[in-house]
Amino acid sequence: MSLPAALEPHPRTDAGASALASLLADPQQTMLAFDFDGTLAPIVDDPQRAHASARSVDALERIAPCVGKLAVVTGRPVEAAVRLGGFADRDGLSRMTILGQYGTERWDADTGESSVPPPPESVALVRAAIPELLAELGIEGARLEDKGHAVVVHTRGLADPASAQQQMSEPLAELARRHGLAAEHGRYVIEIRDSSIDKGAALRSLVAETGTRTIVYAGDDLGDLPAYAALTAMREAGEAEVMLIAVASEEQRALMPRADLVVHGPDELSEWLERLAEVLGC
């Protein structure tokens, strides 16, 4: 299958190459969807300073009029994703939808309106119990992030973040189970939330709503595995052409064996999106 040389690196799988060819042939029937942290935004010690790459957002604004849908599917609240992405300030992104908290929340650029249901009491109870638990474990300096529908414990920035994450893993999992929640691991984070809501279900719903037939999804961490699984199942069932992009890092490589295309970090993703905009003539 012949693909434009300007779009190198090309997908390493036939399925990925087929999806990219479908995108180029009929971009209006394509959805481009992205994780936020580690994908559009670099990972930083303070998650409140994790701004999206200006190059990526510029490229998406160029691409947006050419494709059927742009989506960001993130564990962050939509307010944080909109603010850190600067998406509300870009007139060209009117076709963007952000699904926050793994699909619990939603923001649509064309209306500027958000749907944010109230958080469950169980998360608040867990959040209140975590400081005492960490003190009992002798872990100092871990940062808590309150997402409303989830609470995240960050070990990034500690002297030995991997060891601290491992030490708190089972105690946090047990705390989560007592409240009917689950503790899920990421890049030096443990997030406690309702695990029945995930990126896979969120993407399936958005694909059904938009009717797009080609989906490109880029992610970097374990929270993206349900998205990979759902889209792979859709591809195998003949429901859609799918290209999965892994934004690889030294910290997390779990997506790489499952990906059709691998880029190394948000900067390389930005470069690929810029090349896509050129090829599409946007």
Q: What is the pLDDT of residues 110-136, one digit of tens each?
A: 999 999 999 899 999 999 999 999 999
Q: How far apart are CA 56 and CA 52, in angstroms?
A: 7
Q: What domains can you pick out in the chain, each with its CATH number?
A: 5-117+197-280 (3.40.50.1000), 121-193 (3.30.70)
pLDDT at position 44, please?
87
Quote the DSSP letter at residue 90: -
pLDDT at position 92, please?
92
Residue 189 — φ and ψ, nearest 5°? -140, 150
pLDDT at position 155, please?
94
Which tokens in the block code for residue 205?
């719903």
Q: What is the pLDDT of residues 153-175, one digit of tens each?
A: 999 989 999 999 999 999 999 99
Per-position pLDDT tens, the chain of length 282: 689 988 999 999 999 999 999 999 999 999 999 999 999 999 888 888 899 999 999 999 999 999 999 999 999 999 999 999 999 989 899 999 999 999 999 999 999 999 999 989 999 999 999 999 999 999 999 999 998 889 999 999 899 999 999 999 999 999 999 999 999 998 899 999 988 889 999 999 999 999 999 999 999 999 999 999 999 999 999 999 999 999 998 888 889 999 999 999 999 999 999 999 999 998
Q: How far apart are CA 11 and CA 32, in angstroms?
A: 15
Q: How far apart are CA 83 and CA 81, in angstroms?
A: 5
For residue 278, CA distances in Å to 62, 63, 241, 275 come to 9, 9, 22, 5
Q: How far apart are CA 135 and CA 125, in angstroms?
A: 17
Q: How far apart are CA 33 and CA 226, in angstroms?
A: 14
Which tokens in the block code for residue 140?
């100092």
Burial state string for 141-162 with b = 16 or more CB within 10 A and e = fewer than 16: ebbebebbbbbbbbbbebeebe
Helices 225-236 and 199-210 sit at what angle, rounded to 10 degrees?
50
Torsion over CA: 136, 138, 144, 150 (sign): negative
pLDDT at position 1, please?
64
- Owner of token pair 């872990």: 139
In sequence order, what are the beta bridge partners of 184?
191
pTM for this predicted structure: 0.87
